[in-house]
Amino acid sequence: MQVNYHLVWILKRRKKVLVGDVETRLRQIISEVCQENQSNIIALEIMPDHVHLFVNVPPSVAAHKVVGAIKGRSSRYLRQEFPHLLKLPSLWTHSYTSFYCWECQ
């Protein structure tokens, strides 16, 4: 049995900064975190001010752990690598939205 999640989270103050090289780097970070958590990306859409991630997660892995790891690592790395992001008080909001469906095999 696998669990598919549609996860959505937004930037603090909906700043439109997820473009160009920032978007590319965020894709890399999300991919790394998902691999580390044995999660397979089904679809990933990065908008300038929010992220949609449709991901297949093992039942033993909680969605909030994946989102927390992505948000934590991406905030740290993106702010180190792109100094203009340091002007923001924080990168992500504290919340996220999650929709799930079970897929029996």
Q: Which two tokens stand for residue 65?
A: 């752990």
Query: Can you give the pLDDT at residue 79?
Result: 97
14, with CB counted inside 10 A (0-12, 13-18, 19+), is: exposed
The domain total for the chain is 1
Average pLDDT score, the chain: 93
HSE-CB of 24 using CA atoms within 13 angstroms: 4
> Could you write out the DSSP letters of every residue in 68-94?
HHHHHHHHHHHHHH-GGGGGSS-SB-S
Structural domain range at position 81: 2-103
- Each residue of 25-49: pLDDT tens digit? 999 999 999 999 999 999 999 999 9
pTM for the model stands at 0.92
**CATH number of the domain enclosing 40:** 3.30.70.1290
